[in-house]
A and B are shown apart, each in its own frame.
Chain A
Amino acid sequence: MSIETLRICGIIILLAPFCGAVIAGGLGPIMLRGRSHWPAILGVAGAFAAAVVVFTQLYGHGTEELSAQIPVYQWIIDGAGSAFKVEFLIDPLTSVMLLTVTGVSLLVVIYSRDYMREHGKPERGYERFFAFLALFVFAMCALVLGGNFLLLYLGWEAVGLCSYLLIGFYYSRPAAAAAAKKAFLVNRVGDFGFGLGILLIYLSFGTLEYAAVFDMVQSGVLASGDPLTNGRVTTIALLLLCGACGKSAQLPLHVWLPDAMEGPSPVSALIHAATMVTAGVFMVARCGAIFTASSTAMAAVAAIGATTALFAATIALVQTDMKRILAYSTISQLGYMFLGVGVYAADSAIFHLFTHAFFKALLFLGAGSVMHAMGGIIDVRQFGGLRKLLPWTFVTFVVGSLALAGFPMLSGFFSKDEIIHHALVAHPLLGIIGLVTALLTAFYTFRMVFLAFFGDERVPEGVHPHESGGWMLFPLCVLSVGAIFAGYLGVEATGRGFHHFLTPVFETTFVAMNPAHAGSHEVAHPGFWEHYGLMILSGGLAIIGILVAYIIYVKRPWLSGLAKASAPDAYQTLWNKYYVDEFYDEALVEPARKTGRFCVGLDDYLIDGLIWLVTAVPRGIALVLRTMHNGAMQSYALSMTAGITIIVLLVFWS
């Protein structure tokens, strides 16, 4: 592999989508209009091609040095002698992320060409949409490629910005505008911790460059030469985790993602399912050196992941908006990834990230196709039995659902199973939560499928459903293939190529620090049950979940009403998402606004009042003096007489 090639590829990966964004945004309104998708498609395709080149450069190099820190130019000079550079870090992890991001992006951009049209005419803001989408690809690649924490932060904020702009794409809808703002602000809360973590890293290590920081963490010394305490590294890791929770919508910062579904469906597919929200997982994996140095932090990652996975899956059970169900399922699957990283199985987590990108993007695009056909309606209570009307969408959607549900031999099955396996090894409770969530996942996914595609054919008033065109079906088909076969990149039968490719990245961190490896718990020659027992169990759970959903929603539809009626409180709690939003409003937003009003009052009355008092002193003196100078001779004479009397008295007194 040559550094020069990698540098050029990195620059292309960044600049191609960026130029696409600028051209689409700049020329779009003037001359491109309905063709504004071309700059975006070409830009993203260029980035994808460069990502493939990066991959071929890295692939097949065995265990030799596989990571390259590549400087580009000096960005911010801190004035004290050092500088923050724009630089890349390219290693297998980067490469996998780049392929996933640019690949899915390309498909989504192609899909959007038709999706963002009504009756063949581009929607209002067509060029804006593609400009933002390409800008997002640029930002996400910057996040992934960046070779130091400052660039990570840049990408981190920039993807947040694109997410903000795209959620608020239909800005005249108040809900969309509010959701956009909410997404940005909740992420800012996470970034608050993230930023503090980065500052603490600089404070501790005197640099923000990945390689240097990780080296110092692993050798356990600070820049000042003092030993790195466990408390400090834990603090750093937890602060970083705070940012990851914001971006990846983990508890307690998950509230923005379901609302983010106000954005157009391709945006939900790309940003809020396949790529941006996985940035948190990527970051924890990237900073493995820091996280694995603190067992507390790792436990926190695993705990947050497991809790979120279960928590979001329960909410998804009762929702009726297809995109929101998928949003909660995304949160839940991201929880799996966190769980994976937290139990030292970073390669499995990234594997799940990879397969998830396929099937979740597929599901969102499928939901988008449904929404397109239903004239913008996506609530499963308002339509049903669509399988005849939208055959292609139906088939691909079912493929995606099977993969999500963990149906045996599809991609989601393999990757999820790996995570559950590692979780069981780490702590039985984590593994059991993983299994329960798998069951719930299969159930709610197929509840959605059965409600939308099975039963009697029902469509909303005045809607003439039609299957989508080729621009939309092509990405669906490609993603379906991925959803079925992507998992085979990481199974024993194919030599676990995916994991081997990633191993060099995690060798010294997640692999070496794994407490499960430290004791020789590994069974030398696992028997059939050790090997396949879990697979059969989790596959079985998936099938059970699907069957239960089938019985409740297809065979015996009255059962669902019964369930709702038998536990109304539980149903209401789930329906209202555990009242987290309401809690935040009451506990944080309102008090802050009250404090703000209090501050304004303080300004207007206390501070200005004090100042009025100060200025009142000269005014008061003047007032007294003014009454004396009233020009009446009598009063002058009176005061003169009084004065003389006093003086005379005083003289006599003494």
Chain B
Amino acid sequence: MAQILDMPLFNLADSWALTLVIFAPLVGMVLLWLPPPGDDKGIRRSALFASLVTLALTVLVVFQFYSFEPAVRQSRAYAFTCHVPWIAGTAGDSATIDIAYRLGVDGISIWLLALTAFLMPLAIWGSFSGIRTRVREYYSLMLLLEVGLLGVFCALDVLLFYVFFEFTLVPLFFLIGIWGGSERRRAANKFFIYTLAGSVLTFAGVVYLAYYSFTVLGTATLSIERLIQAAQAGHIAPAVQWWLFLAFAAGFAIKVPLFPVHTWLPLAHTEAPTAGSVILAGVLLKLGTYGFCRLSIPMLPNASFELAPVVAVLAVIGIIYAALAAWVQKDVKKLVAYSSVSHLGFCMLGLFSLKVIGVTGGVVYMINHGLSTGALFLIVGCIYERYHTRNIHEIGGLARQMPWMAFFLIFFTLSSVGLPGLNGFVGEFLVLLGTATSKATSDLRAAGPLGYGYVIPAATGIILSAVYMLWMCQRVLFGPLKEPANTPDTSTGLTKDLTRREISILVPIALACVFIGVYPKPMLDTFKVAIERNVLRDVLPAERVTAETSGLSIPADATQDTQSGEGSPAEPDDGVPAQPADPPRDSAVLASLTDLDTTGGPKHER
């Protein structure tokens, strides 16, 4: 144990690594004010530079995470943890309020962090030709948005998570409202009010969670890790779980977006500037699914299990409904927006299969969707900048004019419809496999909530996704050439086909798609531990999971509380049963949490 703790992974510099990553774009914002006003070129380059520095830092973190990953697997839940008390109160020598600036990443969030840092420079670079007004403000807001997004994926405290989660709304509101299309103000308002309305309920849930943890644990803690432990020990009563699940779901489901609260998305996407759409589809929607996966499922296991069929039904309806709606769209961007709704349904289905395979699929799906849909929005942006229309009926046969664009559009279409060998397939396959095998007990876990019955309607989504995407390709790319008058517009320095800049933006995404499609193992390897340890730890109890992830060989009796915890309401005064009292496992967990919870872990007496 001492050896592990001595590893450089846990030194001070590393505990600040995530803070550095999160706030690097904020520092970069300062750069934007260095070039004189009117020097748009300088501003653009500074913004790109700032986002690239963030990317470089993230890559360092990812590599370091990866090299220490076995160590993390051995003993720890999260890497690069840091803990600074934020809202703290003490009574005597025990903490009564424990809300802190807690950061850390695991095998799931590290990839979402990487996705954000990867897409942001591309989105910024992609705005070079499209954004002509208020350049400085635009890029400042983009970088600010990045801060919020990175923060969400690193936060390990519910309140901190919520703060970052809400914070992303503000820059995006302005990005849509100022640089958007003709109906931008309506879109921005709808987007803001819709998502805010949901997250107000989430906030109520957060407050209640703090209060409730005070009543059962004696400390108003919002530490995700401690709450998961509390849930595992059965301290969160099922009825409470239900309410909390609904409260959290209100915010997250709107963000995902889950049918039927998806109607803000098509409008927001259509009106947002290209980069806004890219980030919105690529990363922002994942905040919802990530919230489910990070907070709802592990902290509210009983409710998640019981409500999983409801969520899955909504997800399946969303898959088919949005696919059909996408098919009849005239606006290319709206079509891609509806396809997002459909795809995210798959993602939710995987997450709520509550089995490792399905959750793995769901998480892969998040990343894949970010890549391929982000790229699709970029391409639609390229078309729009040249033809000033997104109406499918006004353009056609562009393959002849823009062979490069045609190549990329077909490529990302194929990725999006789940062609084996490209990234989309890996996620889709694992989601369907996970859903189908959810009920099976062969992986030593109890039976999950979903089954083969959910797969059949969901799989029609695979046909439908091909229907609308290929329909779009056929109309836009093939047939006789059709262009609106006076186009393509090359006045802004664009060429008829994609410029070198645009190609350079799309190539990295395409490479990532191929890599994930052909060799997803490095990524999938890290998911397993993180999912078993941090998502499904006590959703479906099983000996194997606890034994493997806590690293030390644990006598069988140590897992008792995992099972006894199932559904039993909290026993208030009997001293928080099986908490520090149960030596082997908890000491392991405690040891692993020492720098996560410097207040002394879950030692608390009332």
A residues contacting B by CB (< 8 A) are: 73-81, 83, 150, 153-154, 157-158, 161, 164-165, 168, 171-174, 176-178, 180-181, 184-185, 188-189, 191-192, 195-196, 199-200, 202-203, 206, 223-224, 592-593, 595-597, 599-600, 603-604, 607-608, 611, 615
Are A597 and B328 closer than 8 Å at their CB atoms?
yes
Instruction: Tell me the bound Cα distance from A158 to B474 in angstroms.
Output: 19
Are A615 and B193 closer than 8 Å at their CB atoms?
yes
With A79-B356, A174-B480, A200-B436 known as contacts, the answer to whether A185 contacts B325 (CB < 8 A) is no
Write the nearest CB–CB distance from A327 to chain B, whole angstroms.
21
* Interface pairs (19), CB distance under 8 Å: A77-B524, A150-B429, A176-B478, A177-B474, A180-B478, A184-B466, A185-B467, A196-B459, A200-B452, A592-B324, A592-B327, A597-B328, A599-B324, A599-B325, A600-B325, A603-B266, A603-B325, A607-B261, A608-B263
Q: Which of A158, A181, A202 has a CB less than 8 Å from the CB of B419?
A: A158
10 tightest CB-CB pairs across the interface, nearest first? A177-B478, A596-B324, A154-B420, A79-B360, A596-B328, A77-B524, A171-B478, A599-B325, A79-B356, A80-B443
- In the complex, besides A78-B430, A199-B455, 18 extra interface pairs with C-beta distance below 8 angstroms are A75-B518, A154-B420, A161-B419, A165-B410, A171-B479, A172-B397, A176-B478, A181-B471, A192-B463, A195-B459, A202-B436, A203-B437, A206-B442, A596-B324, A596-B327, A599-B322, A604-B263, A615-B193
Q: Is B470 an interface residue (CB 8 A)?
A: yes
Q: Is B521 an interface residue (CB 8 A)?
A: yes
Are B524 and A76 closer than 8 Å at their CB atoms?
yes
Are B463 and A189 closer than 8 Å at their CB atoms?
yes
Are A600 and B328 closer than 8 Å at their CB atoms?
yes
With A75-B521, A79-B527, A192-B460 known as contacts, the answer to whether A184 contacts B430 (CB < 8 A) is no
Are A172 and B400 closer than 8 Å at their CB atoms?
yes
Closest residue of chain B to A592 (Cβ to Cβ) is B324
Point out the residues of chain A lying under 8 angstroms from B467, CB to CB.
Answer: 185, 188, 592
Instruction: Tell me the bound Cα distance from A178 to B470 in angstroms.
Output: 10
With A174-B479, A181-B471 known as contacts, the answer to whether A79 contacts B460 (CB < 8 A) is no
Are A76 and B520 closer than 8 Å at their CB atoms?
yes
Point out the residues of chain B lying under 8 angstroms from A185, CB to CB.
Answer: 463, 466-467, 470
Are B474 and A199 closer than 8 Å at their CB atoms?
no
Point out the residues of chain A lying under 8 angstroms from B481, CB to CB.
Answer: 172
With A79-B430, A177-B478, A195-B432 known as contacts, the answer to whether A224 contacts B360 (CB < 8 A) is no
Q: Is the interface of B mostly helix, strand, loop or mixed?
A: helix
Q: Is B531 an interface residue (CB 8 A)?
A: yes
1/0 contact trace for B502-546 toward A, CB 8 Å? Answer: 000000000000000011110011011001000000000000000
Point out the residues of chain B lying under 8 angstroms from A599, CB to CB.
Answer: 321-322, 324-325
Q: Which of B261, B327, B429, B436 has a CB less than 8 Å from the CB of A76?
A: B429
Closest residue of chain B to A86 (Cβ to Cβ) is B518
Q: Is B440 an interface residue (CB 8 A)?
A: yes
Closest residue of chain A to B259 (Cβ to Cβ) is A607
Instruction: Tell me the bound Cα distance from A597 to B325 in angstroms.
Output: 6
Q: Please, how many residues of chain B have a CB less than 8 angstroms from a CB on the other chain? A: 66
B residues contacting A by CB (< 8 A) are: 193-194, 260-263, 266, 321-322, 324-329, 355-357, 359-360, 397, 399-400, 410, 414, 419-421, 425-426, 429-430, 432-433, 436-437, 440, 442-443, 452, 455-456, 459-460, 462-463, 466-467, 470-471, 473-474, 477-481, 518-521, 524-525, 527-528, 531
Instruction: Tell me the bound Cα distance from A76 to B434 in angstroms.
Output: 13
Q: Which of B329, B400, B420, B524 has a CB less than 8 Å from the CB of A158?
A: B420
Write the nearest CB–CB distance from A503 to chain B, whole angstroms.
32
Are B531 and A79 closer than 8 Å at their CB atoms?
yes
Instruction: Tell me the bound Cα distance from A336 to B325 in angstroms.
Output: 41
Instruction: Tell me the bound Cα distance from A553 to B459 in angstroms.
Output: 50
Are B437 and A74 closer than 8 Å at their CB atoms?
no
Point out the residues of chain A lying under 8 angstroms from B262, CB to CB.
Answer: 603
Are B263 and A603 closer than 8 Å at their CB atoms?
yes
Write the nearest CB–CB distance from B276 to chain A, whole angstroms.
21
Point out the residues of chain B lying under 8 angstroms from A75, CB to CB.
Answer: 518-521
Write the nearest CB–CB distance from B356 to chain A, whole angstroms.
4
Instruction: Tell me the bound Cα distance from A651 to B367 in angstroms.
Output: 69
Point out the residues of chain B lying under 8 angstroms from A200, CB to CB.
Answer: 436, 452
Instruction: Tell me the bound Cα distance from A75 to B421 in angstroms.
Output: 10
Write the nearest CB–CB distance from A508 to chain B, whole angstroms.
27
Closest residue of chain A to B324 (Cβ to Cβ) is A596
